A and B are shown apart, each in its own frame.
Chain A
Amino acid sequence: MNDAIRTILDRGRENGWVMEPDAKAILKAYDLPVTRHGFARTLEEAREAAESLGWPVVAKIVSPKIVHKSDAGGVVAGIRDETALREAFERLSAIEGFQGVLLDETASGVELFLGARQDPQFGTVVLAGIGGTAVEVYKDVAIRMAPLDEADALEALSALQGRALLEGFRGSPPVDRQAVAHLLASFSEAAHDLRDDVESVDLNPVFASPKGALIADARLMLFQP
Chain B
Amino acid sequence: MDLRTLFEPASVAVIGVSRSNPFHPATVIYNKNHLRSRAKTYGVNPKGGKLFREPLYASIAEVPGPVDLAVIGVRAERVPGVLEECIRAGVKGAVVISGGFSETGRTDLQDRLKALAREARLPVVGPNCLGLFSPPHVDTLFLPPERLIRIRPGAVALVSQSGGILVDQLIKLTQEGAGLSRGVSIGNKAVLDEVDFLSFFAEDAPTRVVGLYLEGFGPGRGRDFAERVRAMDKPVVFLKSGRSPGGSRAVQSHTASLAGDYRVFREVLLQVGAIEARDETEFVSYCEALAGEPMPGGTRIGIVTASGGHGAIASDACFEQGLQIPELAEERRTALRGKLSEAIRGIAGTGNPVDLTGSATDLDFIAASRFLLGEPTVDVVVLLCLPYLPAITPDIGARVAQACREYGKPLVTYIPHIDKYGIFIEGFEANGVPVAHSVDGAVHMARALARRKQP
Q: Residues of B contacting A221 with CB < 8 Å?
A: 252-253, 256
Task: Please give the distance in Å from A131's CB to the nearest CB on chain B.
Answer: 9
B241-274 to A contact mask, C-beta < 8 Å, 1/0? 0000000000011111111010111011001100
Given contacts A122-B264, A143-B263, A144-B268, contact A202 B254 (CB under 8 A): yes
Binds A, one of B98-106, B212-220, B435-443: B212-220
A190-210 to B contact mask, C-beta < 8 Å, 1/0? 000000000111101000000
Distance A141 CA – B222 CA, assembled complex (angstroms): 20
Q: Residues of B contacting A120 with CB < 8 Å?
A: 219-220
B253-301: which residues lie under 8 A (CB-CB) from chain A? 253-259, 261, 263-265, 267-268, 271-272
- Considering the complex, give the chain A residue whose CB is closest to the CB of B258: A141
Query: Are B217 and A121 in touch, CB under 8 angstroms?
Result: yes
Distance A145 CA – B222 CA, assembled complex (angstroms): 10
Q: Residues of B contacting A135 with CB < 8 Å?
A: 254, 258
Query: Are B258 and A144 in touch, CB under 8 angstroms?
Result: no
The 6 closest A-B pairs by CB, nearest first: A121-B222, A115-B255, A143-B267, A122-B222, A121-B217, A200-B253
Apart from A136-B254, A144-B271: 13 A-B pairs, beta carbons within 8 A: A17-B252, A113-B254, A115-B254, A115-B259, A122-B222, A122-B265, A123-B222, A125-B268, A127-B259, A129-B258, A143-B264, A143-B268, A200-B252
Query: Are A125 and B257 in touch, CB under 8 angstroms?
Result: no
Q: Residues of B contacting A115 with CB < 8 Å?
A: 253-255, 258-259
- Considering the complex, give the chain B residue whose CB is closest to the CB of A115: B255
A-B contact pairs, 7 of them (CB 8 A): A113-B254, A121-B221, A121-B264, A139-B258, A143-B259, A143-B268, A144-B268
* Chain A residues in the interface with B (C-beta under 8 A): 17, 67, 113, 115-117, 119-123, 125, 127, 129, 135-136, 139, 141-145, 152, 199-202, 204, 219, 221
Complex partner residue of A200 from B217, B226, B255, B271, CB under 8 angstroms: B255
- Considering the complex, give the chain A residue whose CB is closest to the CB of B253: A200
Total number of residue pairs linking A and B with CB closer than 8 Å:
86
Q: Residues of B contacting A200 with CB < 8 Å?
A: 252-253, 255-256
Complex partner residue of B256 from A113, A117, A141, A145, CB under 8 angstroms: A117
Q: Residues of A contacting B265 with CB < 8 Å?
A: 121-122
- Considering the complex, give the chain B residue whose CB is closest to the CB of A142: B267
Query: Are A127 and B258 in touch, CB under 8 angstroms?
Result: yes
Task: Please give the distance in Å from A72's CB to the nearest CB on chain B.
Answer: 14
Distance A221 CA – B217 CA, assembled complex (angstroms): 24
Q: Residues of B contacting A129 with CB < 8 Å?
A: 258
Interface of B is mostly: helix
Distance A17 CA – B252 CA, assembled complex (angstroms): 10
Distance A202 CA – B251 CA, assembled complex (angstroms): 12
Q: Residues of A contacting B222 with CB < 8 Å?
A: 119, 121-123
Task: Please give the distance in Å from A168's CB to the nearest CB on chain B.
Answer: 24
- Considering the complex, give the chain B residue whose CB is closest to the CB of A122: B222
- Considering the complex, give the chain B residue whose CB is closest to the CB of A159: B267
Query: Are B216 and A121 in touch, CB under 8 angstroms?
Result: yes
Task: Please give the distance in Å from B447's CB to the nearest CB on chain A.
Answer: 17
Distance A119 CA – B222 CA, assembled complex (angstroms): 9
- Decide yes or no whether B40 CB sits under 8 A from chain A: no
Q: Residues of A contacting B255 with CB < 8 Å?
A: 115-117, 127, 200-202
Complex partner residue of A117 from B216, B217, B259, CB under 8 angstroms: B259
Distance A8 CA – B222 CA, assembled complex (angstroms): 31
Query: Are A119 and B259 in touch, CB under 8 angstroms?
Result: yes
- Decide yes or no whether B370 CB sits under 8 A from chain A: no
Q: Residues of A contacting B256 with CB < 8 Å?
A: 117, 199-200, 221
Query: Are A122 and B226 in touch, CB under 8 angstroms?
Result: yes
Task: Please give the distance in Å from A211's CB to the nearest CB on chain B.
Answer: 26
Distance A115 CA – B263 CA, assembled complex (angstroms): 14
- Decide yes or no whether B19 CB sits under 8 A from chain A: no
- Decide yes or no whether B228 CB sits under 8 A from chain A: no
Task: Please give the distance in Å from A69's CB to the nearest CB on chain B.
Answer: 13
Distance A123 CA – B223 CA, assembled complex (angstroms): 6
Task: Please give the distance in Å from A47's CB to the nearest CB on chain B.
Answer: 33
Distance A145 CA – B265 CA, assembled complex (angstroms): 10
Query: Are A145 and B253 in touch, CB under 8 angstroms?
Result: no
Distance A113 CA – B264 CA, assembled complex (angstroms): 16
Interface centre among A115, A116, A136, A152 (most CB of B within 10 A): A115
Complex partner residue of A202 from B218, B220, B221, B253, CB under 8 angstroms: B253
- Considering the complex, give the chain A residue whose CB is closest to the CB of B257: A136
Distance A135 CA – B256 CA, assembled complex (angstroms): 12
Distance A67 CA – B252 CA, assembled complex (angstroms): 8
Q: Residues of A contacting B257 with CB < 8 Å?
A: 136
Q: Residues of A contacting B258 with CB < 8 Å?
A: 115, 127, 129, 135-136, 139, 141
Q: Residues of A contacting B253 with CB < 8 Å?
A: 115, 117, 200-202, 219, 221
- Considering the complex, give the chain A residue whose CB is closest to the CB of B259: A117
Query: Are B267 and A121 in touch, CB under 8 angstroms?
Result: no
Distance A127 CA – B218 CA, assembled complex (angstroms): 22
Task: Please give the distance in Å from B67's CB to the nearest CB on chain A.
Answer: 36
Query: Are B220 and A123 in touch, CB under 8 angstroms?
Result: yes
Interface centre among B254, B258, B264 (most CB of A within 10 A): B254
- Considering the complex, give the chain B residue whose CB is closest to the CB of A123: B223
Distance A152 CA – B226 CA, assembled complex (angstroms): 15
Query: Are A119 and B264 in touch, CB under 8 angstroms?
Result: yes
Q: Residues of A contacting B264 with CB < 8 Å?
A: 117, 119, 121-122, 125, 143
Q: Residues of A contacting B254 with CB < 8 Å?
A: 113, 115, 135-136, 202, 204
- Considering the complex, give the chain B residue whose CB is closest to the CB of A143: B267
Interface centre among A113, A122, A152 (most CB of B within 10 A): A122
Task: Please give the distance in Å from A80's CB to the nearest CB on chain B.
Answer: 29
Task: Please give the distance in Å from B397's CB to the nearest CB on chain A.
Answer: 39
Interface centre among A123, A125, A127 (most CB of B within 10 A): A125
Task: Please give the distance in Å from A200's CB to the nearest CB on chain B.
Answer: 4
Distance A222 CA – B258 CA, assembled complex (angstroms): 18
Distance A17 CA – B253 CA, assembled complex (angstroms): 10
Distance A67 CA – B222 CA, assembled complex (angstroms): 31
Distance A91 CA – B257 CA, assembled complex (angstroms): 30
